[in-house]
Structure 1
């Protein structure tokens, strides 16, 4: 039975409690409670269940003092429920009921302003961290003895070599899907042969680098954040500083350089895999021979390949910096590691897509 409150007017107004006054019905009861009304009697004969949530609601409605006066004479109230109500009333005595929040447009505007200010602070932190990292790199370049070749090779294997299968498989499937969609639309105009150009242009300019960057944003940026965050939680970063070692030089630069090297190579592999997926569809479904497919691809200007590869170092720089920065911002708990890992993935993907859109508009206006 749902929870109800019935007010009976008369010479002695009576409040009848019906149903289950429990936590699952708290919201329903809170909406239906009338304004504070003088009550002379309390009838709980129809009350089936009562817990602390229901008792607290009664205290907020009647007041702790008035409820304490009504409980001894309440009808149908068992000793256990009487004791519960008295305990809750005593605990809440002297407390003002919390104000009911009223949502106003100014509150939404304040939240929007707070989010924009937080985004601006995050952008400034990223620029500052980028400057610190580039200055450390510039200071390290004339000192080959301090280059971390082992760490660089290990990170290159983790970021690049281990990511080749997933990048190649995903772009192959996307290339096949693009070819299917292009053929479906272009067949209506008798221009199925232009499916080859659609696949080649889309993967050379956009899909190759974009899909690779998104994959590495989810795979590598999260790994960077989790690794550095775990080191911070375990106080390993403090131990490095105590030994006079720079965490940026030791941990950030190998990851950054590894991603700068491997992302363009993975982008090239993604381009080849995507066009291979398009070639498979063209060969099996569109009656376009492999020689014809390759001949059309060879006519695509080289500048489209350079446009796609030119975006890769910028994406690699931002993904590595965001992943490492979020790792350094981790607090002292496992929950903080998870939150900043999620944040690094979201930020990396957002920045990659945003910059790709801006670059596409700029290049289109420039005629490149």
Structure 2
């Protein structure tokens, strides 16, 4: 059996001897911890065997005294070098800040991010406006076929889902309104509620939300995928403006189709409300239509037609903007698509609130 590990000092050199393995170290680590002499060299030439634990004990001692280790054979030196290379500081989680400080920091970071996004969105809107003016000056650069294709994607293909949603919303408004108004014996005013609420708010707003989730996300995903496959870079290389070729047709399609979809949504919602009041309250369709004509002023029809193009522009610009921000991997396509839908819906609701105040101010109540 090999001799137990031991050491002896000769001037500024510390000589180790014996078996520097876990089974034979004994109290050597404690003796080295108590050692307070001056050492510049550590000699391991008399060591008969050394393992990982022994190498780490020697390395820790040498590092603490800034001493040079020598005397190992080739295999032992390789083991020692691996032990030295494997020593890494343990990463410790930073102390969690105060809850209030963390909340304020998160709010600040969100505000900064929102400001940067708004700045980028305004810049993108400016670039789209410039591209539109350039197309007006040079009509040959207008992508007619691409725009017509977007008409089908944004408008025609959305008729089914928008119609179903609007029909159900009209029925829900009528049913909930009738339940509440029945407490006052005023069920007939359910028609007023359906007509005015559908035209002024629900028709165009719900259509905008549906188009944001359907077409806005599609715009972001399409442009994001083209960005990943470097198709957009290729277009720039051959002198084609991506804004004119890809963004402008989508924005024009959304702006032009949204008023039609909003009007269609309002009509279908009125039909849904009419069906419910006919079945639930026995009001015939002729009476329902006549009542709608009496209580809904023409200004209520103008409101969705004014809001809709603005909502369409917001949805298309937000979707295209987020799609053009995709850079590195496919995960960003999903993230940017989600951001496009959230951003578009949020901005639509904010602008709708401004429109509500504006129309009240001008007397369209």
Which TM-score bucket, shorter chain as reference? 0.7 to 0.9
Aligned to 1:307: 303
Matches within 5 A, 1:343-358: 343-358=339-354
Aligned to 2:315: 319
Correspondence for 2:186 among 191, 205, 216: 191
Structure 1 residue 91, shift from structure 2 partner: 5.7
Aligned counterparts of 1:93 and 1:363: Cα–Cα separation in 2 = 67
CA-atom RMSD in angstroms: 2.0
Aligned length: 284
Correspondence for 1:233 among 208, 228, 231: 228
Aligned counterparts of 2:291 and 2:112: Cα–Cα separation in 1 = 50
Aligned to 2:149: 154
Bigger shift: 199-208 or 357-366? 357-366
Structure number, greater radius of gyration:
2
Whether contact under 8 Å (1:176, 1:281) holds in the other structure is yes
Once the two structures are superposed, residues 211-252 of structure 1 have per-residue CA deviations (whole angstroms, 9 ceiling, x without a partner) of 100000000010000000000000000100000000000001
Q: 1:102 to 1:142 in 2, by over 3 A?
A: closer
Aligned to 2:97: 102
Secondary structure of the 2:137 match is coil
Aligned counterparts of 2:100 and 2:336: Cα–Cα separation in 1 = 30
Structure 1 residue 188, shift from structure 2 partner: 1.0
Q: 1:98 to 1:169 in 2, by over 3 A?
A: closer
Q: 1:362 to 1:302 in 2, by over 3 A?
A: same
Structure 1 residue 158, shift from structure 2 partner: 0.6
Correspondence for 2:259 among 255, 258, 264: 264
Aligned counterparts of 1:290 and 1:97: Cα–Cα separation in 2 = 73
Aligned to 2:171: 176
Q: TM-score, normalised by structure 1?
A: 0.74
Q: TM-score, normalised by structure 2?
A: 0.74
Whether contact under 8 Å (1:232, 1:332) holds in the other structure is no
Structure 1 residue 364, shift from structure 2 partner: 2.4
Aligned counterparts of 1:150 and 1:94: Cα–Cα separation in 2 = 62
Once the two structures are superposed, residues 101-124 of structure 1 have per-residue CA deviations (whole angstroms, 9 ceiling, x without a partner) of 233422321221111011011111
Aligned counterparts of 1:360 and 1:188: Cα–Cα separation in 2 = 29
Secondary structure of the 1:141 match is helix
Aligned to 2:238: 243
Aligned counterparts of 2:167 and 2:247: Cα–Cα separation in 1 = 32
Aligned counterparts of 2:250 and 2:99: Cα–Cα separation in 1 = 47
**Unmatched segments (≥5 aa) in structure 2:** 1-55, 61-81
Structure 1 residue 96, shift from structure 2 partner: 6.2
Aligned counterparts of 1:210 and 1:226: Cα–Cα separation in 2 = 23
Aligned counterparts of 2:91 and 2:273: Cα–Cα separation in 1 = 69
Correspondence for 1:222 among 217, 226, 234: 217
Once the two structures are superposed, residues 47-88 of structure 1 have per-residue CA deviations (whole angstroms, 9 ceiling, x without a partner) of xxxxxxxxxxxxxxxxx98xx9xxxxxxxxxxxxxxxxxx99
Aligned to 1:125: 120
Structure 1 residue 126, shift from structure 2 partner: 0.9
Once the two structures are superposed, residues 98-155 of structure 1 have per-residue CA deviations (whole angstroms, 9 ceiling, x without a partner) of 4432334223212211110110111111111111111110121132222111001101
Matches within 5 A, 1:288-307: 288-299=283-294, 300-307=296-303
Matches within 5 A, 1:59-78: none
**Unmatched segments (≥5 aa) in structure 1:** 1-63, 69-86
Whether contact under 8 Å (1:182, 1:198) holds in the other structure is yes
Aligned counterparts of 2:142 and 2:203: Cα–Cα separation in 1 = 31
Aligned counterparts of 2:258 and 2:344: Cα–Cα separation in 1 = 14
Aligned counterparts of 2:342 and 2:91: Cα–Cα separation in 1 = 42
Structure 1 residue 332, shift from structure 2 partner: 2.1
